[in-house]
Structure 1
Amino acid sequence: MKTNSTTITLLNNSKNVKQTMINFLLLSFTLLLLGSCSKNDDNDIVIEQFLDGLELETEIIENREQALQTTILNAGGSGEVYGAEGTILYFPANSFEDQNGNPVTGAVTIELIEIYDKAKMLLTKMPTNGKRPNGDVETLVSGGEFYINAKQNGEQLQLVNDFMLFAPSDEFDEDMRLFNGQDNDCNDEILACDIVWEEDEQVGLEPMQREGPNGEGVSGYGGFLGNFGWTNIDRWFNDPRPKTLLQVDVPEGFNNTNSNVYVSYDGEPTALASLDIYNPETGLFSEHYGLIPIGLEVHIIFLSVQNDQYIYAIQQVTIAENHLEVIGTTTTGTEAGLVALINNLP
């Protein structure tokens, strides 16, 4: 990412402003074509990149790839994997088989992504959207998100038995449960899929004391998993206040192909919901079912990547009935600057 940082102001999405902007652009392009046969290359490049969604998608994939840690284990013996942020995986001996059901021996590569904070959730597009059994999508509070996989010589392996997941935590919340990541009909879970979390009612969590890689004692959540892919330790966000629909109007030129909108819940360091419903007719992002508590204090985060820089806005909001939030001023800056801002949110 580039290191310079500037602030720009973009027109909001009111219908009058939109129509005025459209009329102005059409007139400008018409005059340009009539007055000259040559292109304004600088302007063409700016408009093309400003509307592009490929950079955002590429950045998300690169962030997931950079977060991926690999560890080599001997398939014939038991072994442990230690994540950089405190995650521990324990695999019993002879835990793996190939795609044909044959036992695997020799060196096996264990892949791990661990996510414990909002900034990393944002950069990897791994929000805490959970799906209820009735299909309702609501916000979760996370105790850690994980991608876990095993390969040998690049070939996907299968599990023979369960393995243990340990996630460090200063306190044990009895409401925390294990959730599995359900992808959006993608072929590659780690790189390009949008994940929604569904509770695994067959598996529980227990408070656990472990010895870390340096011999220090750590406490946290322990559970046994029987599948590879995305796993999340979560509880449902509960608030008894009346609920309403939240909609967000993003700057002109942006939509769900080139930007994302998130809701950061104040007071919950690991609750980051994605407004994953987009109406192309109104140009509004929203959540699913009008389940945002009225009076809730949140921060709305608008995010895009253009011209090799992050374009973002962070707006403090108290949710009102039928809330419509308009993103007006955005900032162009670096990933490091954005991460610092997200980590400093209440």
Structure 2
Amino acid sequence: MYMKNAVWYVMLTLLFFFSCAPMNRTIGMRQVYQYPEIKNNTKPLLPDLTKILSVPLQSFTVDTHSDTILYGIEGTILFINPVCLNFSSGVPQKKITVELKELYTKAALLKERAYTISNGRMLESDGSIYVHAYAENGEAIEITCENALRIRLPREVQENMIYFQGKRNDKGNMNWEVDGSIAPIYEETGYDFVAEEDEPIEISQTEAVLHTYFFSIQKFGWINCDRFYDDMRTKTDFIATFRLPVSEKKVVQVHNYIVFDSLMSIIPLENDLSGQWVCPNLPIGAAVTCISIQKTDTHLYYGSKKTRVGDRESSIIPLNEIKEADLIKLLDLSL
């Protein structure tokens, strides 16, 4: 009996040893499950259309101890007399920052939504600028005398042009108001004699720029030189339909424009109560380009069509996806 129990004991011991042997070999190791890599195909969010289209802001640092002349990239010249600048704290600062934007093309006006409208009346533009200044500590600056800031625009003077001050409405669209505080500066023409001539010859000390716009301002902000545009042709409403790709239904921002082919004029289309895009009271037969720029959170779309006011068959504009950089190039080249 004792021997039989001993045999059973030995067999159980061997069975236990062999069954545990594999476990002993795996002590200190663990199996880790690795999940398959998931690629992130989500497109980055697009910035606001205002940021995408905005004309670059030029910035200058100016010493307040001496008169300064600044030259914009597009040819604007600013003559600054710092003595006539007043700081909000009453304490003069050694340096100020002057900011400038120049809008001398239809593309620039469109990108800034600097629409050529004055209280509902259409304007023809000859250029717009934005000028702002602040102290190096960020405090506001006011202009306190007439010739503190004189400005020359690189455009030849046209008839009936008026200086306007611009303000944006709650939609961000520009409206221009005639501003009598913007004072034209009239330059004198000098005379000299040429050895071969008996009569004086009319010359100017600034011959190349004598016939350009030259004025002083009393307020910083948006300024333009425009004239009211009156067309005797019969007027009608321009109605446009814009077609996005069928798959796109989440548009979050829309800018629609009418650009006159023969004028420096940009007018917005507004969405009426029926959902149509309308630009009212345009002269029938006028050659225009209808442009739409729309965006979703991740996609940008563009469409345009040349047409004539009153041609309803041509007012359907399909939109196609476009990259930000390509949109800017297209606007600059086509307008």
The aligned runs of 1:1-346 (5 Å cut-off) are 55=46, 58-61=48-51, 63-64=53-54, 67-100=56-89, 102-131=90-119, 137-152=120-135, 153-162=137-146, 163-169=149-155, 171-184=156-169, 193-205=172-184, 217-218=208-209, 220-251=212-243, 258-268=253-263, 270-275=264-269, 277-279=270-272, 281-287=273-279, 290-306=280-296, 310-320=300-310, 326-345=315-334
Q: CA deviation at 1:88?
A: 0.9
CA–CA separation in structure 2 for the residues paired with 1:76 and 1:311: 49
CA–CA separation in structure 2 for the residues paired with 1:113 and 1:257: 27
Q: Is the 8 A contact 1:142 1:271 kept in 2?
A: yes
Name the CA shift for 1:293/1:74 in 2 (closer, same or farther; >3 Å): same
Residue in structure 2 matched with residue 189 of structure 1 by the alignment = none
- Deviation by residue 1:325-346 (Cα, 9 ceiling, x = unmatched): 6434222223454344434547
Residue in structure 2 matched with residue 8 of structure 1 by the alignment = none
CA–CA separation in structure 1 for the residues paired with 2:116 and 2:323: 24
Q: Is the 8 A contact 2:240 2:317 kept in 1?
A: no
CA–CA separation in structure 2 for the residues paired with 1:266 and 1:108: 40
State the percentage of identical aligned residues. 24
Q: CA deviation at 1:228?
A: 0.8
Query: Which residues of structure 2 form unaligned runs of 5+?
Result: 1-39, 189-205
Aligned partner of residue 84 in structure 1, secondary structure: coil
- Deviation by residue 1:108-137 (Cα, 9 ceiling, x = unmatched): 111111111122222233222222xxxxx1
Q: Is the 8 A contact 1:112 1:146 kept in 2?
A: yes
Name the CA shift for 1:308/1:67 in 2 (closer, same or farther; >3 Å): farther
Name the CA shift for 1:174/1:303 in 2 (closer, same or farther; >3 Å): same
Q: CA deviation at 1:248?
A: 2.0
Q: CA deviation at 1:307?
A: 5.8
CA–CA separation in structure 1 for the residues paired with 2:313 and 2:143: 47
Q: Is the 8 A contact 2:251 2:296 kept in 1?
A: no
Q: CA deviation at 1:320?
A: 1.2
More relative contact order in 1 or in 2 (CA 8 Å, sep 6+)? 1
- Deviation by residue 1:258-295 (Cα, 9 ceiling, x = unmatched): 11110110112x311112x322x4221223xx320011
TM-score normalised to structure 1 length: 0.68
CA–CA separation in structure 1 for the residues paired with 2:324 and 2:71: 27
CA–CA separation in structure 2 for the residues paired with 1:256 and 1:325: 23
Q: Is the 8 A contact 1:79 1:92 kept in 2?
A: yes
Q: How many residues align?
A: 272
Q: CA deviation at 1:72?
A: 1.3
Q: CA deviation at 1:161?
A: 2.2
Name the CA shift for 1:313/1:149 in 2 (closer, same or farther; >3 Å): same
Aligned partner of residue 86 in structure 1, secondary structure: coil
Aligned amino acid, residue 115 of structure 2: P
Q: CA deviation at 1:76?
A: 3.3
Aligned partner of residue 69 in structure 2, secondary structure: strand
Name the CA shift for 1:55/1:282 in 2 (closer, same or farther; >3 Å): farther
Residue in structure 2 matched with residue 21 of structure 1 by the alignment = none
Query: Which residues of structure 1 form unaligned runs of 5+?
Result: 1-40, 132-136, 186-191, 210-214
Q: CA deviation at 1:227?
A: 0.4
Name the CA shift for 1:181/1:165 in 2 (closer, same or farther; >3 Å): same
Name the CA shift for 1:149/1:339 in 2 (closer, same or farther; >3 Å): same
Q: Is the 8 A contact 2:252 2:295 kept in 1?
A: no
- Deviation by residue 1:163-221 (Cα, 9 ceiling, x = unmatched): 2111101x320221111112225xxxxxx943211122453546779xxxxx9944521
Aligned amino acid, residue 77 of structure 2: I
- Deviation by residue 1:2-55 (Cα, 9 ceiling, x = unmatched): xxxxxxxxxxxxxxxxxxxxxxxxxxxxxxxxxxxxxxx99xx89xx9xxxx94
Name the CA shift for 1:216/1:176 in 2 (closer, same or farther; >3 Å): closer
Structure showing greater radius of gyration is 2
TM-score normalised to structure 2 length: 0.70
